[in-house]
Structure 1
Amino acid sequence: MAFNGICGIFVVLSVGLISFTPSCDGGNILVFPVDGSHWINMKILLEELHAKGHNLTVIRASNSWYIAEKSPLYTSITLKMDLGFEEFFDVFLQEHMRAQIERASALTFFKLTKDFLSMISTAHSLLCDTLTKMLDDEKMIKSLLDSKYDLVLTDPAVASGAVLAKYLKLPMVLNVRWITSGEGHFALAPSPLSYIPVPGSGLTDKMNFIQRVKNILFYSIIVFQQKFLVGPGYDAICEKYIEGGCDVFSILQEADIWLFRSDFVFEFPRPTMPNVVYIGGFQCKPAQPLPADLEDFVQRAGEHGVIVMTLGTLVNALPKDVADGIASVFAKMPQKVIWRHKGERPSTLGNNTLLVDWMPQKDLLGHPQTKVFVAHGGTNGVQEAIYHGVPVLGIPLFFDQYDNLLRLQERGAGKIIELGDVNRHSFEQGINEVLHQDSYRQNMQRLSRLHRDQPMAPMDQAIFWVEYVMRHKGAPHLRTEAYKMPWYSYYCLDVLLLLLTVATVLLFSTVAIFRFLCCRSRRKTKTKQH
């Protein structure tokens, strides 16, 4: 009882201290986002910043998928872009899924990877051209300078925003998990490859020798991508427009705050830095009531509950035979199923399955009737599943999805079925295992409790640190200077070389002195004998 009383007092004092945190008058924020699913995260953050009274200006492409030109949240600056990526991604994803299902040869996957990297290189090159035109537009640059922005908020998956912040000499906050070539931690924190898995490797933090070899090979691909495919275009801009020159990697490392869309409930433990703020699940909120028709469908499930399935915004439907197999399994189950599926209607669909073009995913996952989440493993969906404590049956399709789901599987909160293994038998076995083995739900609910047990909500942390940077005109005291050191100094190889040299000199000097003394002693002995 005394402990509970002390905890109560502590909570009251904590709330009081948070409420007396110095406020930040409405700031002027320049936002350079990345389109697609990344914008969904950025927009949630912008909604909260707008609600706090900050003035937002968003730089967008003329052919943007998701970023509207007009919005009550922000004013926009539209850049002329002739290239659209949506069609490319659709073709790539379809080819990638086909290769997984057909268990194509390693040569086919190598070709797909080569084509993807080539297109990524082309995309970044075109983005660099657009940035160059922007920096050459004296009228636009003058307008940006006259606007007196307090900071640049950008997503470093594309480095244009970071280069612009450097050019305008403004503090920078990154809304990040990914940078131009890989995961953000690898740019600023010590990342020993012996126990930190590289994205795409499909490894955990427990690696044997062969796995460590694989991990290093995957890391070499990331280095190659940055050094030869992505970096040169941005580096050329830096050399031309940034006083004193620089490279894009060092610009990212100079960011004041990294708002990192992850946390250590989800991520494997690893070294980090003081200017990294973990906001994993910041987009998660308590569930809201469902629309009346959807609530009625859910309630008709009774004690059996509901299964929710979606494969994200980029994939409208699985190949027909795979979709038919999944639908036939659902049809035999006593649960109700809500499935986001925009392709051809599966021929084996049962009366218990509702196909929808869109679903209120957060509200469904937070509904007490939801028993299992069948998902592709996107970051948002995984974090929402953790927040609401719903176990996951994962069907990873591409990018980081396998790695995301692997983290849940390692913690006993999810199960992975690779797309090439999905058939009636494997899917039925997998869904029943996650549905009926209590350990999956118990482990996920434990992760949910850990995630929620924080002194400040992730969104509150994000807003606090954005405003912190505005109040103090940056946060250089939180940045490490390690990235400015040459690699041999970082690893103290120069010190080691000096110490080895000194030790060697001392050793040889000692040996030489002993030899000299021995020779002198022998000469004296011979002289006495004569």
Structure 2
Amino acid sequence: MKLLVLISLVYLLGSTEALKVLVLYPYAVKSLSILGTGTVRHLLNAGHEVTYITVYPLKDPPTKNFRQIDISNNTQLLENEESLTIGYVLEHKVPRTDALQMQIFTMESARLTFQNENVKKLIQDPNEHFDAVVVDLVESEVFAGLAVLYDCPMIWLYSMGAHWQVLRLIDRATNPAYDPDYLSPANTPLSFLERVDELWSRVKWQYRKTFIIQPEERKIYEDTFGLLVAKRGRTLPDYEDVIFNASLIFGNEHNAVRDRPSTPQNFKYIGGLHIEEPVKPLPKEFQDLIDNSKHGVIYFSMGSFLKSNSLPKPLIAELLRMFGELKQTVIWKFESDLPDVPKNVHIVHWAPQPSILAHPNVRTFITHGGQLSSIEAIHFGMPIIGVPVFFDQFTNIKKAVENGYALTVPLSHDLPKDLKVAIDVMLKDDTFRKKAKELSSIYHDRLSKPGAELAHWVEHVVRTGGARHLRSPAWRVPLYQRLYLDLIALILASVLILATLFFYIVSSLFKKTPKKNNQKKRN
């Protein structure tokens, strides 16, 4: 019996083949790299070999089955970009992030990535091969050329939920009447003006993508991969065919979110992927501080991309004064030291956010409403006060408010006063915390953890040669058939024939009638 068990174990271990996976996170946005790190961690835990191309190389990289390729030069695209600071948005009242700006940024990030000497060394090596390519999806699809080069499945990992710009790659775009784009502050149900605005935004996005951005991306694709693919004895496919040939898209959202659009089978939700379980213990200074806070803790962070120190100095001073009036301990993630800080306020340059949110003594979370922070709030059942600035933050906070576990405060010069009102309401009304716990229960009620989900579907895609059985049948139906243009043409042709025939018959009758009358008169 022991021998049989041993043979079975050997067989199972031998039948589980490690995959070689290329993971690429090319954008100089720190929060996105957190997702990248999570992706790498779960693939390594599943026993696979990972090559990680990243703007933010890991300081303590794994020593087994892991290789990282440094593209930190991509940060030059956002260096000294004042328009992406909280202070700039506050002073200039930026209403909505421009989609064209995002498209240009992602396209230039792709250009820089493929010009990077470390990446060129990788892709020009004819001995390199991968079983799957996993890439961060933000507007640009030119990285799909890597799957062509290595002749393997293409998998996208999208840092937000299901939106039409993403779904169009594996299905047909959803209706703008109920599916606002990821940069829109609107949530369903949409008013008449919101529906018109969403329709116009979509037309504008598609025009810019088709006639401004895509021709440039096509050139990057052909210049980068044309010769490399030819050296491997193959012909470079057309760019249009490549960008719509993804095997799978992972969406960084979860099942506790309402009003999600319908998705095809090859769109999988893995929200919470980046959260390590069990949560790491708090460093001693944080543990002692939060444990000994008699009236609880308020945690304030505007994420890893936005910098609180870009706020005007008078506003920072007002916030400190307001926080100083509270009984609670306030932990404020701030990027520099501050003078005259009240005793109950603790300024930290870095904070272990998941570990803080997991502590039962934390009462509320003041956040910009980024997708990762929003998921962490639900994961730990934490009510939030949102101060959205740009990108998808307005949508995330609005959803949180509609779900009953959040309040929103506009970014303005009245922020200290408005924030104080919201804090008072949040601390007195326990409904917000109860609702957060309820949604957290829904979030955790899933068959498997997001990391295991990710590893399973990557393996499934490779095992099944691209998982074509999961793809939407809509791709096999031409536009004229989907819109029933052939049926409309048939109906119009039938109506035209009948109308012509009717007109001919009536005309004939009217022509014959006068002749009879004239004959009678002559008689």
TM bucket, shorter chain: 0.7 to 0.9
Please list every run of 5 or more consecutive structure 1 residues that lacks an aligned counterpart in the other structure.
Answer: 1-19
Quick one: which amino acid aligns to residue 251 of structure 1?
A: V
Rounded to whole Å, the distance in 1 between the matches of 2:424 and 2:172 is 41
Structure 1 position 124, deviation (Å): 2.0
Structure 1 position 428, deviation (Å): 0.5
Quick one: which amino acid aligns to residue 91 of structure 2?
A: E
Aligned residue for 1:8?
A: none
Residue 343 of structure 2, aligned match among 344, 348, 351: 351
**Partner SS state of residue 130, structure 2:** coil
Aligned residue for 1:42?
A: 36
With 457-466 and 27-36 compared, the bigger mean Cα shift is at: 27-36
Rounded to whole Å, the distance in 1 between the matches of 2:381 and 2:172 is 30
Rounded to whole Å, the distance in 2 between the matches of 1:135 and 1:166 is 19
Aligned residue for 1:340?
A: 333
Residue 154 of structure 1, aligned match among 131, 135, 147: 135
Quick one: which amino acid aligns to residue 146 of structure 1?
A: N
Deviations 1:381-409 (A, max 9, x none): 10010111111101112221111111101
Go from structure 1 to structure 2 and tell me whether the alpha carbon gap of 1:183 and 1:298 turns closer, same or farther (over 3 Å shift): farther
Residue 215 of structure 2, aligned match among 232, 247, 252: 232
Aligned residue for 1:16?
A: none
Aligned CA RMSD, in angstroms, stands at 3.5
Residue 101 of structure 1, aligned match among 86, 90, 100: 90
Question: Is contact 1:100-1:420 (8 Å) kept?
Answer: no
Question: Is contact 1:287-1:364 (8 Å) kept?
Answer: no
Rounded to whole Å, the distance in 1 between the matches of 2:148 and 2:314 is 51
Aligned residue for 2:152?
A: 170
Residue 211 of structure 1, aligned match among 194, 203, 212: 194
Residue 52 of structure 1, aligned match among 2, 24, 46: 46
Aligned residue for 2:206?
A: 223
Quick one: which amino acid aligns to residue 400 of structure 1?
A: D
Deviations 1:470-523 (A, max 9, x none): 211211122225346654443223432232222332343245346546766887
Structural mapping, 1:377-388, within 5 Å = 377-388=369-380
* 1:456 corresponds to 2:448: yes
Go from structure 1 to structure 2 and tell me whether the alpha carbon gap of 1:24 and 1:402 turns closer, same or farther (over 3 Å shift): farther
**Partner SS state of residue 102, structure 1:** helix
* 1:301 corresponds to 2:283: no
Rounded to whole Å, the distance in 2 between the matches of 1:490 and 1:394 is 41
Structure 1 position 345, deviation (Å): 0.9
Structure 1 position 190, deviation (Å): 3.4
Rounded to whole Å, the distance in 2 between the matches of 1:149 and 1:472 is 15
Rounded to whole Å, the distance in 1 between the matches of 2:15 and 2:397 is 39
Higher relative contact order (CA 8 A, sep 6+): 2
Aligned residue for 1:251?
A: 242
Structural mapping, 1:254-293, within 5 Å = 254-266=245-257, 268-284=259-275, 285-293=277-285
Aligned residue for 2:114?
A: 131
Go from structure 1 to structure 2 and tell me whether the alpha carbon gap of 1:489 and 1:103 turns closer, same or farther (over 3 Å shift): same
Deviations 1:123-165 (A, max 9, x none): 624633653788996x75463x533321111112253431211
Rounded to whole Å, the distance in 1 between the matches of 2:306 and 2:119 is 38
Percent identical among aligned pairs is 24
Rounded to whole Å, the distance in 2 between the matches of 1:505 and 1:244 is 48
Question: Is contact 2:172-2:474 (8 Å) kept?
Answer: no
Rounded to whole Å, the distance in 2 between the matches of 1:245 and 1:69 is 39
Rounded to whole Å, the distance in 2 between the matches of 1:40 and 1:80 is 15
Go from structure 1 to structure 2 and tell me whether the alpha carbon gap of 1:77 and 1:295 turns closer, same or farther (over 3 Å shift): closer
Residue 499 of structure 1, aligned match among 471, 491, 507: 491
**Partner SS state of residue 44, structure 1:** helix
Question: Is contact 2:164-2:179 (8 Å) kept?
Answer: no
Aligned residue for 2:317?
A: 324
Question: Is contact 1:32-1:154 (8 Å) kept?
Answer: yes
With 495-504 and 512-521 compared, the bigger mean Cα shift is at: 512-521
Aligned residue for 2:427?
A: 435
Deviations 1:84-129 (A, max 9, x none): 234144x2323xx33443355xxxx49x967x95586266246336
Rounded to whole Å, the distance in 2 between the matches of 1:76 and 1:286 is 26
TM-score (norm 2): 0.83
Structure 1 position 435, deviation (Å): 2.1
**Partner SS state of residue 385, structure 1:** helix
Go from structure 1 to structure 2 and tell me whether the alpha carbon gap of 1:203 and 1:82 turns closer, same or farther (over 3 Å shift): closer
Rounded to whole Å, the distance in 2 between the matches of 1:280 and 1:404 is 13
Question: Is contact 2:56-2:70 (8 Å) kept?
Answer: no
Question: Is contact 2:133-2:152 (8 Å) kept?
Answer: yes
Go from structure 1 to structure 2 and tell me whether the alpha carbon gap of 1:308 and 1:462 turns closer, same or farther (over 3 Å shift): same
Go from structure 1 to structure 2 and tell me whether the alpha carbon gap of 1:358 and 1:135 turns closer, same or farther (over 3 Å shift): closer
Question: Is contact 2:409-2:415 (8 Å) kept?
Answer: no
Quick one: which amino acid aligns to residue 335 of structure 1?
A: Q
Aligned residue for 1:420?
A: 412
Question: Is contact 2:336-2:349 (8 Å) kept?
Answer: no
With 515-524 and 218-227 compared, the bigger mean Cα shift is at: 515-524
Please list every run of 5 or more consecutive structure 2 residues that lacks an aligned counterpart in the other structure.
Answer: 1-11, 230-234
Rounded to whole Å, the distance in 1 between the matches of 2:250 and 2:16 is 18
Structure 1 position 69, deviation (Å): 10
Rounded to whole Å, the distance in 2 between the matches of 1:288 and 1:78 is 27
Rounded to whole Å, the distance in 1 between the matches of 2:381 and 2:520 is 95
TM-score (norm 1): 0.82
Structure 1 position 227, deviation (Å): 2.6
**Partner SS state of residue 137, structure 2:** coil
Rounded to whole Å, the distance in 2 between the matches of 1:503 and 1:239 is 49
Rounded to whole Å, the distance in 2 between the matches of 1:185 and 1:267 is 18
**Partner SS state of residue 412, structure 2:** helix
Structural mapping, 1:69-88, within 5 Å = 71-72=62-63, 74-78=66-70, 84-88=76-80
* 1:410 corresponds to 2:402: yes
Residue 470 of structure 1, aligned match among 462, 465, 478: 462
Rounded to whole Å, the distance in 1 between the matches of 2:487 and 2:421 is 58
Rounded to whole Å, the distance in 1 between the matches of 2:425 and 2:15 is 50
Rounded to whole Å, the distance in 2 between the matches of 1:509 and 1:439 is 71
Question: Is contact 1:414-1:440 (8 Å) kept?
Answer: yes
Go from structure 1 to structure 2 and tell me whether the alpha carbon gap of 1:343 and 1:315 turns closer, same or farther (over 3 Å shift): farther
Deviations 1:22-51 (A, max 9, x none): 974211112222343212102112111111
**Partner SS state of residue 254, structure 1:** coil
Aligned residue for 1:4?
A: none
Aligned residue for 1:196?
A: 179
